[in-house]
Amino acid sequence: MLEPPNLDPTAVRRQFSQRAGSAARADFLLAEVESRLLERLDPVRIEPATVLDVGCGAGRSLVALARRFPSASLLGVDASAGMASAARAALAPPPRGWLARLLDGPPAALAQVAIADAAALPLADATIDLLWSSMALHWFDAPAQALAEWHRVLKPGGVLAVSFLGVDTLAELRALGAGVMSFHDLHDVGDLLLSTGFADPVMDSERLTLSWSTPQSMLADLRALGGNALRGRRPGLCGRGAHAGWLHALEALRRPDGRLHASVELVFGHAWCPQRKRRADGLATVEFLPRRRGGAEGAR
């Protein structure tokens, strides 16, 4: 069963907004996951007219999706106002001279970006052909409601492409007693996709080992990926002694190559929205078709 994470959603939004100006620091992992998720779309033959990126962050996936589907209309949503602002800046068209603006009018941005909750999208039913969400699902305080909302806005025949951190992520830090957030099991997400109404979900995972030269650089990168938004976290900054203690404890992760190592489990999935969608109220649509003439009567 997919459980909500042990996170404070207000703290999640605040921390991502605070990091919006330095979002590129997290690209060491986000860019790799984005590339691998795009590769998994290669066998899926789609030419979407509308693409939605849920949890778009600073907009790097929207840029990649614009290159992949140049004729599609793109929309990104993020619950963090700071990240949405950073995404708009990244997707804004380059400045042009006054004559070009006069002749051609204002250039269009690569995508539109809105502030919205993943479980309450400002979209009508069945309006999206491809729903993309990379490295965001593990941050949602209502993952089951988010998947139901994604099913609602996808068109029949539409595709969901998703990636997130799996349950074994940062197991080494957890073993040291660090307050690591909980992550989703890929089997639970696959089961939930089916129970929500998606068809033919395909889930797989990969493990990466990340390494750092110092504990300080390790903590800085982990903060860039989202930081500590646990409900039971310490209110305020920890003291110098506690910080020094953690730097010392992290030395246990140093291997013979001289670097500190920790692993992440990357989970990838895609699923289809069936041609006959399940109704939001759980009822099934009954379709009456005219009787076809044939069989014994048609053989006469």
Domain boundaries, the chain: 9-209+265-276
Determine the average pLDDT of the residues in 179-198.
Answer: 95
pLDDT at 5: 82
300 pLDDT higher than 50:
no
pLDDT grade for 205, boundaries at 50, 70 and 90: very high
Average pLDDT, the chain: 87
The H-or-E segment that residue 101 falls in is helix 98-104
Both tokens of 267, joined, read: 């989970």
The DSSP call for residue 223 is: H
Q: For residue range 249-296, list pLDDT tens digits in order.
A: 999 999 999 999 999 999 999 999 998 876 666 555 555 556 666 554
Closest CA to 138 of 177, 167, 176: 167
Burial class for 269, CB neighbours closer than 10 Å (0-12, 13-18, 19+): buried
pLDDT at 87: 94
Counting every residue, how long is the chain?
300
Determine the average pLDDT of the residues in 71-75.
Answer: 96
pLDDT at 228: 84
pLDDT at 226: 86
Both tokens of 164, joined, read: 């997130």
* Residue with the larger pLDDT of the pair 46 and 154: 154
Q: How many CB atoms lie within 10 A of CB 144?
A: 18
What is the model's pTM? Answer: 0.87
CATH level 2 (architecture), domain 9-209+265-276: 3-Layer(aba) Sandwich (3.40)
Determine the average pLDDT of the residues in 119-128.
Answer: 97
pLDDT at 243: 72
* Residue with the larger pLDDT of the pair 279 and 85: 85
Q: For residue range 228-247, list pLDDT tens digits in order.
A: 888 876 665 555 666 788 88
